[in-house]
Structure 1
Amino acid sequence: MLKVGVIGAGAAGFFAAIHLSNQHAEVTILEKTSKSLAKVKISGGGRCNVTHAALELNHLVKNYPRGEKFLKKSFQHFAVKDTIDWFESRGVKLKVEADGRMFPISNDSESIIRALKEEALKKQVTIKYQFGVIKIKYNSRKFELSNGKETLTFDRLIICTGGNPKLEGFDFIKELGHQIQPPVPSLFTFNTPTEPIKSLMGIAMPDAHVKLEGTKLSYQGPLLITHWGISGPAVLKLSAFGARWLAEQTYKAKAHIRWNASWTEESLVQDISRFKIAHPKKKVSTNPLFGIPARLWEHLVFRAEITEADLWNEISKKHLNRLIQNLFCYIVAIEGKTTFKEEFVTAGGVCLNEVNPETMESKITPGLFFAGEVLDIDGITGGFNFQAAWTTGYIAGKHADQPNSNE
């Protein structure tokens, strides 16, 4: 019987292990800590954002800043509908929220953890905790794994160690001949320590547009002002697509905010002109337009150098243009980042041109497979990283115990 080792007891590791046929393989998961599925447990505030209701393949792949082409092939074997069916067939019903995120109807990540652990038990998967792999030797088509005290030997190996913030965290993979795309943070909020906008913390706009100056990188969606800067889905998703560029800029850049993504400069000019004619004697500062919260409107007005006492029929064309500019293109200086809650994601990992997307097998080392965030794949927030873990784990598991594996 083949011996298959799986490094990492996270989502991808469990899914890979339980899709190995127990008729063909003896499966052991090696976990460096004393716990399994830790990220599953805390995801989504303890509810576990299992996947996203992006059922169309072309829509699904657009949510991966890195790995889109690779995953387009992989998702043909296991995608969102397959994830839903897999969990629901094991008694875990899922629900779709307004933004497309999917959670167990129990609102408890333990439902997901229980399903995975029960399946692993049924498949007779062994889990060896506190076994941190520090060295892998590939001899005579066998993998010798050492934690410094003990050595285990496997016929096949699936690496599911997740992302790592440091390049040296991939050293044992580089020793197997693979190139690593250096890791950089993804999914973070923008710090704006010198900007007065921080005083408006707690204000949210439901559909803003945020663009990084000097690039084509932009995203639209909910935006939140915090005591350290700007956050919300629009910023988090923009940080993912701009992860490498922002790292190169040492997280110093400028963001252009359009407080409502549907606005044009022309529509703002027309709407304000109509209001000005209809209400000439009203104060500009105390009559918010376009559904903008009063505190934010007041800030935008004062930033345009319009005084608290100014009436609509008193403001000059210059000040009116400044107000429109603040509405349409409010510029903030980014100086630093803050990791978003527990959603630690890195961009980087095993170079995808060295892995077969149809099998997850290494093109360099026969019998070696990869799954999850150890690959240079990452998605935006909303369940996409878990979907990539389920997909790549499933494919790796289905192929790692095949007698005709690439040898």
Structure 2
Amino acid sequence: MPRSPKIAVIGGGAAGFFAAINAARLDPSLKVTIFEKSREVLSKVRISGGGRCNVTHHCFDPEIMSKAYPRGSRKLRWAFEQFQPADTVSWFEERDVELKTESDGRMFPTTDDSSTIISCLKREADRYNVNILNRHRVEALHPTNKNQFKLSIKNKEPQIFDAVVIATGGSNRRSTYQWLEKLGHSIIEPVPSLFTFNFKNKIFEDLSGISVENGSVSIEGTSYQHEGPILITHWGLSGPAVLKTSAWAARYLHNQNYTFTIRVNWIYPNKAHTVQETLKKLRDTNARKTTKKQNAFPIPGRLWNRFLELAQINPNTRWAELSNENIHDLTQELTNANYHIKGKTTYKEEFVTSGGIPLDEINMGTMESKKVSNLYFAGEVLNIDGITGGYNFQSAWTTGWIAAQHIASE
């Protein structure tokens, strides 16, 4: 590269921003420009975690950390040796941003405000003279005979750069990736990864907002099964157990046109036979009480009453009046309930995709393309996606960091 190389970063999200500011910090001679098609950078950072920004996950073992990624796990295992959650925590703390860990391992700024993270990143950009161009949509990239790149920018004059980082994020539309195919890269069909399950029959619609802490969700006819909290929504089910299942089964469910059947154990890890015995004991010990009263299972009262109704038991029926068939039916509703799913809803405003640039076309030690020299990739434009909980931001920080390190060392 020339003495003062010009670096273009296409995409002003977490990965692009992190690549840009770290490259500029590590080599002050670099002239780094971020091109963002929308009017605001870091928009996904702003809405993440309900506006608190789930920065990363408290897992400092690269091998364990990598297992949270349905796509990209094996390659990220080694990428995390270069930059992992512990490094993310240190990076922000060095810039006076402290992170805290919640009970489920998610890490947030102690301010519980995503603007803390955004302000930190923008300060670094100012400090190292990173140029940020909003409303600049790069429509094509043309390698020149001087080993440079000409960027075609919508309604703007083209610009020439010595190296380019692609950090445009994920998209469900294959057309979004066509300009990258023209550079010689192949594309793995993009499909949604994190989403909630919509019920065909809205049997819990009036219970929206109710949750259980320990449940399990499995997809009938497959080996996909995950545990964790389950949240009832207006449309169906959400919560970590559902979102993890949606991530791991993303491509399978896409092929099923999001029409499938799930099995839910609402009181995991309790098994059917132990629950049945517990219900029989309740029948003996609570004989004169109505079935709407119970303290054996951690289930909210309104949800418990719904399970009784689904098992065709009147909540005002006394425990002593339950037949063995009633107990069997209630056990099924609690531990082995079948629900027909038709459709999905994107998880809040957080959009994650499976698909994009195949990792075998990227040198994961440098994030440089194996097809085109001085072309780098970072973030979700790659075929990388993690489960919910800070994992997707961590892969953005990691891949952005690795690209910056290599660009600065060239």
Same fold (TM over 0.5): yes
Pick aligned residue for 1:328 from 332, 335, 339: 335
In structure 1, distance between residues paired with 2:306 and 2:120: 51
1:259 aligned residue (253, 266, 275): 266
Task: Report the alpha carbon displacement of residue 195 of structure 1 after superposing the two structures with TM.
Answer: 3.5
CA distance in 2: counterparts of 1:220 and 1:131, whole angstroms: 43
User: Does residue 271 in structure 1 map to residue 278 in structure 2?
Assistant: yes
Counterpart-to-counterpart distance in 1, 2:309 and 2:349: 37
Aligned residue in 2 for 1:12: 15
Residue in 1 that maps onto 2:79: 74
Give the percent of matched residue pairs that are identical in Structure 1 and Structure 2: 45
Letter in 2 for 1:374: V
Report if aligned partners of 2:361, 2:371 keep a CA contact under 8 Å in 1: yes
2:148 to 142, 149, 156: 142
Q: Secondary structure at the match of 1:223?
A: strand
Distance across 2 between alignment mates of 1:151 and 1:220: 51
Equivalent in the alignment of 1:382: 389
Residue identity matched to 1:239: S
Alignment check: 8 A CA contact 2:214 2:227 kept = yes
Q: Does 1:235 align with 2:242?
A: yes
SS of residue paired to 1:222: strand
Instruction: Report the aligned-residue RMSD.
Output: 1.6
User: 2-side partners of 1:82 and 1:312: how far apart?
Assistant: 56
How far the C-alpha of 1:294 sits from its partner, in A, is: 2.1
Cα displacement (A) at 1:391: 0.4
Superposition pairs of residues 221-232 of structure 1, within 5 angstroms: 221-232=228-239
Aligned partners of 1:158 and 1:400 also within 8 Å: no
Q: 1:155, CA displacement in angstroms? A: 1.4
CA distance in 1, matches of 2:298, 2:102: 25
Q: Which runs of 5+ in 1 are unaligned?
A: none
The code of the aligned residue for 1:104 comes to P
Q: Does 1:124 align with 2:129?
A: yes
| 1:391 counterpart = 2:393 | no
Going from structure 1 to structure 2, the CA distance change for 1:289 and 1:164 (only over 3 Å counts) comes to same
Residue of structure 2 equivalent to 1:97: 102
Greater CA deviation, 227-236 or 164-173?
227-236
What amino acid is aligned across from residue 4 of structure 1 in structure 2?
A: I
> Which secondary structure does the structure 1 equivalent of 2:108 belong to?
strand
TM-score (norm 1): 0.95
- The yes-or-no answer on 1:215 pairing with 2:222 is yes
* Superposed CA offset, 1:288-315 (max 9, x none): 6413222222222222223345433333
Residues 322-353 of structure 1: CA distance to partner in whole angstroms, max 9, x if unpaired? 11111111111111111122111111111111
How many Å separate the matches in 1 of 2:259 and 2:187?
26
Q: Which residue identity is paired with 2:193?
A: S
TM-score by length of 2: 0.94
Structure 2: segments with no counterpart, 5+ residues = none
Please say which of residues 57-66 and 276-285 is displaced more in the overlay. 276-285
Count of residues in Structure 1 that have an aligned counterpart in Structure 2: 403
Q: For residue 80 of structure 1, what is the amino acid of its counterpart? A: P
**2:321 aligns to what SS in structure 1?**
coil
Do structure 1's residue 3 and structure 2's residue 6 form an aligned pair? yes
* AA at the equivalent of 2:31: E
> Deviating runs (4+, > 4 A) in structure 1?
none
Whether the 8 Å contact between 1:4 and 1:401 is mirrored in structure 2 is: no
